[in-house]
């Protein structure tokens, strides 16, 4: 009996030992597993921390001290880190490799001349990164339209393309095909070869030093005749402010890049950059509100727009100024309406009094055309202050509502300086002839009912000797006729003031491109 009890005790003891041993073993295994997991987590955190520190270090080394303070904003850096981690796993050696490669790009970012450029870099980088994070599964996005304009509307900068490319390179490390390979399918990299072919204005000596640009394929626009077809994201300024600043910018660009022979120097690469800025800036016109303008403001606005569109067409379409298509085909979209040069000069400037070519019984703007609400009272002086880019045309001037009346009077007087009545004897008939440029030939037929009205209007602005001849002719009942000269298409000429007049402070509302 005692032996049996002893055996039972031994069995129980063995069972308890086994149970305790298993329990201890499981506990130890769990502890070790937890320790290992903690170590792994700590290692991951350490790796992340090291990578973050590496990013800070690289940015600090590749920028100057002031820019470093701007770019190392915590929000911007966190976005950059998230972006990197969305492309590579945390432990990926590719991440470290690309960051190290990115370190070699320091030569691009030694000097940033303005505070606004620094802010533009910072904001651009942040928004680009955020956009990629939100669209991580689909990288085919329209960078040029979606991001560039959205960001750069806020800043006064030297070059939109330069800023954008620097921001991409600076925070994303996009330098060549070996970096960030997941972008290859959606972004077309090109080491300026295609750009060189399309932009002949880049100087041969500077080609090798050009920075890399991202060439993005933009969606085709069905309406090729609208010249400001880029999207404008964000609010716009007042219509007058936009028209004044755009015209001031393009005249300044022409003045800067015009040689002594009065030809544009297209070998100057900065001309291409400037004109790009202008092209993007014109898209702001699509968002302006025309409904709040007074009549005198509309008159100044459309005078500026006429010259703006005139220059835009002549630079981009490259057709003779007196070609009919020049005036009726190409348009700006302004505040939801389309305007060609003919729409402005025949519809807006004539108080919609000219008859439609398709229907001679209806006005230029039909009753259903909302543009008729934007017309201005007919002012014959407008015909003599509008430039057609010919040798006889007046210089292109920026018009302001506050000084419009004085500008119109002064320019009309300047237009008629040196112009005189010529005495003509033809077939025993004596009459006086007054010559006007060919582009004003529509005046007698469309603007005023007869030539006498034109002649009496012109006489007010003639010099004293010519005025005397005119009034003597009227007293002696000698006929006075208007003759419109025939001009060749070789008379292309852009006239403007020798020195740029500063924009009044009330119109100096900054635009990211033009100020």
Bridge partners of residue 431, in order along the sequence:
424, 479
Closest by alpha carbon to 278, among 156, 145, 155, 160? 160
Contact call for residues 443 and 454 (beta carbons, < 8 A): yes
Integer Cα distance of 392 and 394 in angstroms: 7
Integer Cα distance of 70 and 122 in angstroms: 7
Range of the domain at 244: 239-411+496-507
Do 331 and 207 lie in a common domain? no
The verdict on pTM exceeding 0.75 is no
Domain end (from 157, 180, 215): 215
Mean predicted confidence (pLDDT) in 99-117: 42
Highest mean pLDDT among 295-299, 425-429, 500-504: 295-299
Confidence (pLDDT) at 19: 55
Q: Which of 386-400, 465-479, 490-504 has the weakest average pLDDT?
A: 490-504
Domain end (from 215, 248, 268): 215
Highest mean pLDDT among 25-39, 157-171, 189-203, 270-284: 270-284
Do 151 and 169 lie in a common domain? yes
Length of the chain: 515
Do 52 and 157 lie in a common domain? yes
pLDDT band at 220 (very low <50, low <70, confident <90, very high): very low
**59, pLDDT greater than 70:** no
Coil, strand or helix at 213: strand
Q: Does residue 224 belong to any structural domain of this protein? A: no
Do 245 and 366 lie in a common domain? yes
Q: Does residue 515 belong to any structural domain of this protein? A: no
Q: Which two tokens stand for residue 64?
A: 């100057």
Bridge partners of residue 313, in order along the sequence:
none
Q: Does residue 489 belong to any structural domain of this protein? A: no
- The secondary structure element, H or E, covering residue 326 is helix 324-328
Contact call for residues 448 and 454 (beta carbons, < 8 A): yes
Do 377 and 457 lie in a common domain? no
Q: Which of 29-38, 238-247, 451-460 has the weakest average pLDDT?
A: 29-38
Q: Does residue 226 belong to any structural domain of this protein? A: no
Q: 270 versus 458: which is more confidently predicted?
A: 458
Integer Cα distance of 186 and 209 in angstroms: 26
Q: 508 versus 146: which is more confidently predicted?
A: 508
**247, pLDDT greater than 90:** yes
Integer Cα distance of 163 and 160 in angstroms: 5
- The secondary structure element, H or E, covering residue 123 is helix 115-134
Do 418 and 382 lie in a common domain? no
10 Å Cβ neighbour count for 366?
13
Highest mean pLDDT among 32-41, 252-261, 342-351, 456-465: 342-351
Do 291 and 143 lie in a common domain? no
Mean predicted confidence (pLDDT) in 112-125: 53
Q: Does residue 366 belong to any structural domain of this protein? A: yes
Do 58 and 178 lie in a common domain? yes
Q: 409 versus 473: which is more confidently predicted?
A: 409
Coil, strand or helix at 477: coil
pLDDT band at 331 (very low <50, low <70, confident <90, very high): very high
Q: Does residue 57 belong to any structural domain of this protein? A: yes
Q: Which of 118-122, 323-327, 379-383, 461-465 has the weakest average pLDDT?
A: 118-122
SS3 letters for 392-436?
CCCCCCCCCCCCHHHHHHHHHHHHCCCCCCEEEEECCEEEEEEEE
Q: Does residue 228 belong to any structural domain of this protein? A: no
Q: Which two tokens stand for residue 269?
A: 């690469």
Q: Which two tokens stand for residue 416?
A: 């008629």
Instruction: Identify the burial level of 111 via C-beta atoms within 10 angstroms of its C-beta, where 0-12 means exposed, 13-18 middle and 19 or more buried.
Output: exposed
- pLDDT tens by residue, 377-433: 988 899 889 988 877 788 899 999 999 999 999 999 888 888 777 777 777 677 777
Integer Cα distance of 470 and 301 in angstroms: 35
Domain end (from 215, 247, 262): 215
Q: Does residue 334 belong to any structural domain of this protein? A: yes
Q: 142-147 long-range contacts, Cβ below 8 Å, gap at least 24?
A: 142/216, 142/218, 142/219, 143/187, 143/214, 143/216, 144/216, 144/218, 145/218, 145/230, 145/231, 145/233, 146/233
**187, pLDDT greater than 90:** no
Closest by alpha carbon to 162, among 154, 153, 152? 152
Integer Cα distance of 350 and 356 in angstroms: 12
* Average pLDDT score, the chain: 64
Do 34 and 153 lie in a common domain? yes
Mean predicted confidence (pLDDT) in 258-275: 57
pLDDT band at 467 (very low <50, low <70, confident <90, very high): confident
Do 124 and 248 lie in a common domain? no
What is the percent of the chain with per-residue pLDDT over 90, rounded to a whole number? Answer: 14
Do 288 and 426 lie in a common domain? no
Contact call for residues 389 and 492 (beta carbons, < 8 A): yes
Instruction: Identify the burial level of 414 via C-beta atoms within 10 angstroms of its C-beta, where 0-12 means exposed, 13-18 middle and 19 or more buried.
Output: middle
Mean predicted confidence (pLDDT) in 161-169: 46
Confidence (pLDDT) at 334: 95
**338, pLDDT greater than 80:** yes
Confidence (pLDDT) at 118: 52
Mean predicted confidence (pLDDT) in 26-50: 55
Confidence (pLDDT) at 350: 86
Q: Where are the alpha helices (DSSP H) in 173-220?
A: 193-198
Q: What are residue 336's phi and psi, to 5 degrees? A: 95, -5
Integer Cα distance of 403 and 298 in angstroms: 14
Q: 79 versus 6: which is more confidently predicted?
A: 6
Coil, strand or helix at 40: helix
Mention every residue, 6+ apart, whose C-beta is less than 8 A from residue 280. 148, 149, 160, 230, 513
Confidence (pLDDT) at 401: 94
Integer Cα distance of 406 and 348 in angstroms: 21
Q: Which two tokens stand for residue 116?
A: 């606004």
Integer Cα distance of 280 and 268 in angstroms: 20
**437, pLDDT greater than 80:** no
Integer Cα distance of 370 and 272 in angstroms: 37
Contact call for residues 304 and 243 (beta carbons, < 8 A): yes
Confidence (pLDDT) at 308: 95
Please count the structural domains in the chain: 3
Angle of helix 451-459 relative to helix 464-475, nearest 10 degrees, comes to 140
Do 475 and 501 lie in a common domain? no
Q: 280 versus 88: which is more confidently predicted?
A: 280
Confidence (pLDDT) at 239: 94
Q: Which two tokens stand for residue 185?
A: 């399918």
What is the percent of the chain with per-residue pLDDT over 70, rounded to a whole number? Answer: 42
């Amino acid at each position: 009996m005692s032996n049996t009890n002893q055996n039972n005790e031994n069995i129980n003891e063995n069972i308890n030992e086994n149970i305790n041993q298993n329990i201890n073993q499981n506990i130890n295994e769990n502890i070790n597993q937890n320790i290992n997991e903690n170590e792994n987590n700590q290692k991951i955190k350490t790796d992340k921390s090291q990578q973050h520190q590496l990013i800070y270090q690289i940015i600090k080394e590749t920028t100057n001290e002031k820019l470093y303070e701007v770019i190392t904003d915590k929000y911007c850096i966190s976005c950059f880190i998230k972006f990197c981690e969305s492309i590579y796993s945390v432990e990926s050696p590719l991440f470290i490799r690309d960051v190290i490669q990115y370190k070699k790009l320091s030569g691009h970012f030694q000097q940033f001349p303005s505070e606004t450029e620094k802010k533009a870099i910072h904001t651009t980088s942040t928004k680009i990164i955020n956009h990629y994070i939100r669209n991580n599964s689909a990288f085919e996005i329209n960078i040029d339209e979606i991001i560039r304009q959205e960001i750069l509307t806020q800043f006064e900068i030297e070059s939109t393309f330069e800023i954008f490319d620097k921001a991409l390179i600076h925070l994303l490390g996009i330098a060549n095909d070996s970096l960030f390979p997941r972008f290859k399918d959606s972004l077309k990299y090109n080491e300026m070869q295609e750009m060189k072919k399309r932009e002949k204005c880049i100087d041969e000596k500077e080609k090798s030093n050009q920075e890399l640009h991202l060439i993005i394929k933009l969606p085709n626009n069905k309406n090729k005749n609208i010249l400001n077809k880029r999207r404008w994201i964000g609010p716009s300024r007042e219509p007058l402010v936009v028209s004044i600043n755009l015209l001031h910018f393009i005249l300044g660009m022409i003045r800067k890049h015009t040689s002594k022979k009065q030809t544009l120097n297209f070998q100057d690469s900065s001309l291409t950059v400037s004109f790009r800025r202008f092209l993007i800036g014109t898209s702001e016109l699509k968002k302006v509100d025309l409904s709040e303008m007074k009549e005198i403001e509309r008159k100044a606005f459309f005078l500026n727009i006429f010259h703006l569109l005139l220059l835009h067409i002549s630079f981009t379409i490259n057709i003779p100024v007196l070609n009919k298509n020049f005036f009726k085909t190409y348009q700006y979209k302004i505040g939801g309406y389309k305007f060609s040069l003919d729409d402005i000069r025949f519809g807006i400037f004539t108080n919609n009094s000219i008859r439609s070519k398709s229907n001679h019984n209806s006005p230029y703007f039909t009753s259903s055309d909302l543009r008729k609400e934007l017309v201005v009272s007919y002012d014959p002086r407008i015909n003599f202050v509008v430039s057609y880019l010919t040798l006889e045309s007046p210089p292109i001037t920026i018009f302001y509502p506050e000084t419009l009346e004085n500008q119109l009077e002064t320019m009309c007087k300047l237009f008629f300086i040196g112009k005189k009545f010529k005495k003509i004897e033809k077939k025993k008939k004596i009459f006086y002839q007054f010559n006007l440029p060919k582009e004003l030939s529509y005046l007698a037929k469309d603007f005023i009912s007869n030539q006498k009205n034109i002649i009496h209007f012109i006489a007010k602005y003639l010099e004293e000797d010519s005025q005397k001849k005119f009034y003597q002719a009227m007293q002696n009942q000698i006929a006075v006729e208007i003759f419109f000269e025939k001009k060749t298409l070789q008379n292309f000429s852009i006239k403007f003031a020798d020195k740029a007049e500063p924009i009044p402070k009330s119109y100096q509302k900054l635009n990211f491109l033009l100020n």
